[in-house]
Structure 1
Amino acid sequence: MPTAIPHLTEFCDHLAHVRRVSGYTLRNYRTAVEQFVAHLKQIGKWQDDFELVSPIQVRSYLVEAGRFKARRTLHNQVSGLRAFYLYLRQQELVRNNPLTGLSLPKLDKPLPKFLTEMQMRALLNAPILLWKDGKLGEYEAFRDSLILELLYGGGLRVSELCGLNHGRIDLEQGVARVLGKGRKERICPLGPVAIQCLRIFVQRFDLEAALDAPVVCTRAGRRMEPRQIQKLLKTHLTAAELPLDMTPHKLRHSFATHMLDGGADLRAVQELLGHANLSTTQIYTHVSIARLKEAHRQAHPRA
């Protein structure tokens, strides 16, 4: 039986209950520590004590890992190791941090992918068209329409949608109180179309809209998981003849891009998306500028 990694369980408990990170981040940070220790064991340098890890060993690991890991993956793993050593320092379990002063190659910042407004309309229409063609059940068609309208209409993360209960939606005001990253609550306008979809869905299938009941659920009434929504999105992308690399998060990109294209204030979009930093939201202005430059290039005689 493999020896437990010192302090890793307590670190993961700290992430979950004190820092309240997402399950995705928790898994990635745990994996970062596990893979680092596995590397040290493989080269015979692990001494069952993080105090004894040297900066040279960290750099050796990154050089080795860089041969088969993407640059972004490497950055994420270093973030996990930094968080772990920060925890160890705070708990006075180590005195030195071998990651201090560590520099990594800069990441490219590709513009986020999104659907055009015309493409978005085709996607939103896909579930009902599939039902009318006899290719999708009635319940699934109306539920999937609701899912797409909420993701796009509210700019929700898929995890936020999965965690959304009826009690957190004000139908009269047309808004939802959403729990985002770090358990931070924000108000999201959903738009009249999404609210009408919700009303129709509940009434058509006589659903129990109890305060603690999930807004999107399986036919058996179970709360849906992000993977289920990712899978059904592929079905509707195929039906609408749209790129299959689109994800629920890219519908959020579409929401933000279309808001800014329509003249929305950048800080308002930041608040709607629940971004802690304005710099995170500013990437969408680059999308709009890139589109304007492309339109200029194609249409202007001197471009």
Structure 2
Amino acid sequence: MTRPKRPATWPAAMHEYATAQRAANRSPATIRLHRHYLNQLIEVTPTPWTITHRHLETAIGNERWAGEARKSARTVYRGFFRWAHGHGYIDDDPAFALPSVRVPQAVARPAPEFVVKYAVTRLDPRLTLMMQLGAFGGLRVREIAAVHSRDVLDDVLLVHGKGGKQRLVPIEEYTLHGRLQLLDGYAFPNRWTGQPITAGHVSRIMSAALPEGWTAHNLRHRLATRSYEGTGDLFAVMRLLGHTKPETTLRYIGLADARVRTAARAGLLAG
């Protein structure tokens, strides 16, 4: 059987792959992430069609990468070569038998109240709104970047999450509610294009403004922890954060020392 004409270079193949991802309704952020990891292979071979399993293992074993980066790279390479194999561009999928990447479960690190108070009482209104969306809405930085006035539905915010998923986040903090009501267009537009600033830009702004050692993601952990302590409802917290699995939500919840100590004492009493 005649092989379909395949893209001759990495850029051409990546462009065609991105088109296929958009057709599958993958988000722009996902497409950028895949392009980032595929770019790591450009210096390995001149075209994707001469990549071997060993090449991919070596790339994933990059000593500069942490476990999460290796896991992401494996997912990207498997997706790309599965697409290439499905189109008949290659006979054998070099990523098929890539070993799974085990990433140790991180300990939740919710921002303490002094950090939250510091974060949401800034003189800069734009920065304050970013911090409030993280601390009181639990939004990811990419979700903060995309906030638009059309998504403000009275006391609920329509959030555009990972993978094109959407969720409704109740806005219970009255000053955040008031700021959202005043929006007209994107909350954080690029001054030149009018489009929203990037997630990376939001992350850098927030990290630079928070006390050393704390990030926007710690604000999200804080909301998860406080919400779970207040309700004991893991599935409600899961929906609030936009997770699809309760195991993911559990990684965001840092139980207070007092509750952990009570559990330990209960174990002693039971004996």
TM-score (ref. length: structure 2): 0.79
Match of 1:9 among 8, 15, 21: 15
Which amino acid letter does the alignment assign opposite residue 195 of structure 1? H
- CA change 1:144–1:36 in 2 (3 A) is closer
- CA change 1:291–1:197 in 2 (3 A) is farther
Shift of 1:149: 1.6
Q: What are structure 1's unaligned runs of at least 5 residues?
A: 129-140, 203-208
Query: 2:150 maps to what in 1?
Result: 167
CA distance in 1, matches of 2:18, 2:191: 35
CA distance in 2, matches of 1:32, 1:256: 30
Question: RMSD of the alignment, in Å?
Answer: 3.2
Contact 1:115 1:254 in 2 (8 A): yes
Shift of 1:122: 2.8
Query: 2:37 maps to what in 1?
Result: 32
Query: 1:112 maps to what in 2?
Result: 108
After the TM superposition, which of the residue ranges 101-110 and 158-167 deviates more from structure 2? 101-110
- CA change 1:291–1:275 in 2 (3 A) is farther
The answer to whether structure 1 residue 273 and structure 2 residue 245 are counterparts is no
Q: Which has the larger radius of gyration?
A: 1
Query: 1:293 maps to what in 2?
Result: 260
Which amino acid letter does the alignment assign opposite residue 187 of structure 2? V
Which amino acid letter does the alignment assign opposite residue 124 of structure 1? V
Contact 1:178 1:187 in 2 (8 A): yes
Match of 1:177 among 136, 158, 168: 158
Map of 1:208-287 to 2, 5 A cutoff? Answer: 209-210=183-184, 213-217=185-189, 222=194, 223-237=196-210, 242=211, 244-285=212-253, 287=254
CA distance in 2, matches of 1:231, 1:57: 33
The answer to whether structure 1 residue 79 and structure 2 residue 75 are counterparts is yes
CA distance in 2, matches of 1:68, 1:167: 41
CA distance in 2, matches of 1:220, 1:84: 34
Which amino acid letter does the alignment assign opposite residue 288 of structure 1? L
Shift of 1:53: 4.0
Match of 1:124 among 108, 120, 127: 120
SS in 2 for 1:7: helix
Contact 1:168 1:178 in 2 (8 A): yes
- CA change 1:122–1:58 in 2 (3 A) is closer
- CA change 1:58–1:266 in 2 (3 A) is same
SS in 1 for 2:106: coil
Query: 2:24 maps to what in 1?
Result: 18
CA distance in 2, matches of 1:291, 1:17: 50
- CA change 1:279–1:224 in 2 (3 A) is same
Query: 2:5 maps to what in 1?
Result: none
SS in 2 for 1:186: strand
Q: Percent identity?
A: 20
Query: 2:87 maps to what in 1?
Result: 91
Contact 2:119 2:128 in 1 (8 A): no
Contact 1:28 1:77 in 2 (8 A): no
CA distance in 1, matches of 2:79, 2:190: 37
Contact 2:139 2:241 in 1 (8 A): yes
Shift of 1:17: 4.1
Shift of 1:57: 4.1
